[in-house]
Amino acid sequence: MISHTSPIVALAVRAVTPVALVVAAYVLFTGHNAPGGGFAAGLMLGAIIVLRTIAGISRPRGAPTWLAVGGGIVGAVAIAPLLWGEPLLDQVVVSWDVPVLGTVKTGSALLFDLGVVAVVVGLVIALLDGLDAGSLVDRGRPDDGARERSDRKVTGS
């Protein structure tokens, strides 16, 4: 809706999207040794999705897919150790040498965090869906009648 009055916002959101994606990826990978992690990365992506919705750039969609993928990854990482006779949620740490980055140490915890990212993103999209944010992108400002109706419903006092 804001995009109808402000192309600047839309442009800014477009411009900031790739940066936010990179930062989110960074936060995810660095999480094991520095502040960050799956939840933070997921929220970062979520914030971008909300901003893009407000700016009228794209409809939020695919919440069930995100949730299913995230839940699947987390569940798989949780259960997989049982197949090798290890306790539930047991961690595997691997480290290998990569040309530019040097020695990279990572583990199944990263995969677990990846699942968390997907679930958080799914939740944010579901929330937007619940607020019927998609219609903002389609129609711009909702009509006054609808505003009055929902007003009465929610405040109630």
**Binding-site string for other proteins from residue 127 to residue 156, where x marks contact by CB under 8 A and - marks none:** xxxxxxx--x----xx---xxx-xx--xxx
Report the distance separating Cα 37 and Cα 26, nearest Å: 9
Coil, strand or helix: which one is 79?
Answer: helix
**Which of the 8 DSSP states describes residue 118?**
H
CB closer to other proteins, 18 vs 91? 91
Report the distance separating Cα 68 and Cα 75, nearest Å: 10
Query: In sequence order, which ranges of the chain are alpha helices (DSSP H)?
Result: 2-5, 7-30, 38-54, 63-83, 108-130, 134-139, 144-155
Q: Is 9 in the site for other proteins (CB under 8 A)?
A: no
Residues 68-127 that bind other proteins (CB under 8 A): 70-71, 74, 78, 88-89, 91, 93, 105, 107, 109, 112-113, 115-116, 119-120, 122-124, 126-127
Report the distance separating Cα 157 and Cα 155, nearest Å: 6
Total residues at interface with other proteins (CB under 8 A): 64
Q: Is 25 in the site for other proteins (CB under 8 A)?
A: no
User: Contact, 73 vs 112, CB < 8 A?
Assistant: yes
With CB under 8 A as the contact rule, the residue among 6, 8, 12, 64 that binds other proteins is 64
**How open is the CA angle 92-93-98, to the nearest 5 degrees?**
140
The residue ranges that bind other proteins (CB under 8 A) are 1-2, 27, 31-40, 43-44, 46-47, 50-51, 53-54, 63-64, 67, 70-71, 74, 78, 88-89, 91, 93, 105, 107, 109, 112-113, 115-116, 119-120, 122-124, 126-133, 136, 141-142, 146-148, 150-151, 154-157
